[in-house]
Amino acid sequence: MKSIKLYWNEKTLSSGDVLALLFGDRKETIKAARLAIGRMKNTNTLSMTKRELRFFAKELGSGKLGVKYSYHNFYTKLLRKLLDMGFVEKDVLIWDAKRRKTVAVYQLRLQPIPERAPQAGFVKQAWQVAKGWNDLIQE
């Protein structure tokens, strides 16, 4: 396992490439994460239903989206890490206008952080990761 110091670069994080820190040198995982985040950002609720996410994972598994990434790895490696770190929330209830009912979705979550970075230490590094994530979502 490689050290996190190899991927810790303040310029990289401030440019919104927080995915390189989260997933290291796994190029396919980073591409799959970018596609999933892009798909969620296309909706005004920053979300996908469980059904939409399942079909998206199957498209990744078949390679239709330009990246061949297995269904199993999508759920166990990529989505599980984003859920565990609090970057994605599960079972958020939103109103679906097409179906005219409330549905549970996976939703991208902006991190509640202050405008200014803390002085130093772990708190500053955590702030940089959260800021990089927010910049990625808001771009």
Q: What is the pLDDT of residues 66-99, one digit of tens each?
A: 999 999 999 999 999 999 999 999 998 998 888 8
Nearest to 92 by CA among 81, 79, 106: 106
pLDDT digit string (tens) for 28-37? 999 999 999 9
pTM (two decimals): 0.84
Distances in Å between the alpha carbon of 17 and those of 4, 35, 44, 69, 97? 14, 14, 23, 20, 33
Encoded amino acid at 103, one letter: V
pLDDT digit string (tens) for 107-135? 999 999 998 888 877 888 888 888 889 98
pLDDT digit string (tens) for 41-65? 998 889 999 999 999 999 999 999 8
- Contact residues for 112 (Cβ-Cβ < 8 A; gap 6+): none
Report how many domains make up the chain: 1
Range of the domain at 69: 4-138
88 by DSSP, 3-state: which? Answer: strand
